[in-house]
């Protein structure tokens, strides 16, 4: 009976540990809203919305020479870095690097995916303001 109890406990712990990771989620071709007239926003407005969304969500944006944006976030001891590319109609948010988020074999701590999804939705919100 004691062996069974030990086995169940170990299995439960391993199951809970595995639940904290998920596949790295990149936003590819995330659709951006249009103006009230149905036209895409101007490129500088998209860039400004991304920068404001990053700042709102605690990311530190850095505009690159090629027009893309590198954004980093530090939450307690966790760190993530993404590469954001965009045009008038869509945005891409791609994983670049992380620390203390258990990144391995295409998986990462599920909080990373939450941060990226919230960033994407905040970009959309910023454009429609």
Model pTM? 0.83
Q: How many whole angstroms separate alpha carbon 21 and alpha carbon 106?
A: 10
**Structure tokens, 25:** 């989620």
> What is the rounded distance in angstroms from the CA atom of residue 43 to the CA atom of residue 127?
11
* pLDDT score for 13: 47
Indicate the pLDDT class of residue 21, thresholds 50, 70 and 90.
confident
What is the tens place of the pLDDT at every residue in 56-105? 999 999 999 999 999 999 999 999 999 999 999 999 999 999 999 999 99
pLDDT in tens, 1-15: 666 555 445 554 444
Q: Mean pLDDT in the chain?
A: 90
| Beta-bridge partners for 125 | none
- The CA distance from 35 to 2, in Å, is 65
Backbone angles phi, psi at 84, to 5 degrees: -110, 120
């Amino acid at each position: 009976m004691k062996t069974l109890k030990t086995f169940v406990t170990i299995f439960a712990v391993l199951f809970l540990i595995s639940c904290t990771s998920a596949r790295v989620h990149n936003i590819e071709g995330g659709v951006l809203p249009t103006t009230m007239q149905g036209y895409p926003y101007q490129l500088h407005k998209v860039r400004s919305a991304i920068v404001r969304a990053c700042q709102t969500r605690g990311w530190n944006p850095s505009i690159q020479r090629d027009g893309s944006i590198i954004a980093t976030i530090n939450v307690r001891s966790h760190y993530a870095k993404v590469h954001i590319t965009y045009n008038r109609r869509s945005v891409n948010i791609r994983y670049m690097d992380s620390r203390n988020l258990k990144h391995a074999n295409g998986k990462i701590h599920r909080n990373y995916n939450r941060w990226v999804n919230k960033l994407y939705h905040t970009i959309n919100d910023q454009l429609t303001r």
